[in-house]
Structure 1
Amino acid sequence: MSLVQEHTLHLEPRVREDARRRLLSVKGHVEGILKMLEGEPYCVDVLKQIKAVQGALDKVGDTVLQSHLRHHVVSAAQRGDADTLVEELMEVLKYR
């Protein structure tokens, strides 16, 4: 749940498309892992695929975080919601 709900995602079209492509790749990797698990996969092969998914998700997360920092955090003091944004970011970053 977002503490600062009036803010929206500000991503340039190129960045948004890159994130979309990466997430579609993640979807494909997860589907591949599920198919692997239907058989008798080598554990290391499954782990490699899981790591690829984690890397792709991390990259998308970094892109969205960077956008948030640029478009919301740098102007928080001017808007008067800096404390709220810091609290929100601390909540999100504990999962990273």
Structure 2
Amino acid sequence: MSHTIAGKKKLLSRVRRIKGQSIALETALEGEPNCMAILQQVAAIKGAVNGLMKEVLEDHLREHLGAENLSNEQRLTEVEDVISILKSYLK
């Protein structure tokens, strides 16, 4: 079973929190926002997204790169895929 399916409930809960934070930010910006409140909300969203990324990435590394039945070629491909995603994420 894929780690994203096994942890689906927890991941969806995180995504729904991020969605709620984004809606709260949008609502605040539509009004007369306080700059500090906006900065705080943006920081909270970034932290939530980073937490989601950490969780999925950690599970992915454990399940896919930690698998004992991978050939060296498959493992190298997996590593390159993760590096590509991380480069995109960290831009």
| TM interval, short-chain normalised | 0.7 to 0.9
Higher relative contact order (CA 8 A, sep 6+): 1
* Structure 2: unaligned runs, 5 residues or longer: none
Q: How many equivalent pairs are there? A: 88
Aligned to 1:74: 66
Aligned to 2:56: 64
**TM score, norm. by length of structure 2:** 0.82
Higher helix share: 2
Q: Any idea what the Cα deviations from partners look like across 1:34-71, whole Å, max 9, x if unmatched?
A: 11111110111001011111111111111101111111
Distance in 2, Cα, partners of 1:25 & 1:59:
11
Q: Percent sequence identity over matched residues?
A: 31
* Structure 1: unaligned runs, 5 residues or longer: 1-7
**TM score, norm. by length of structure 1:** 0.79
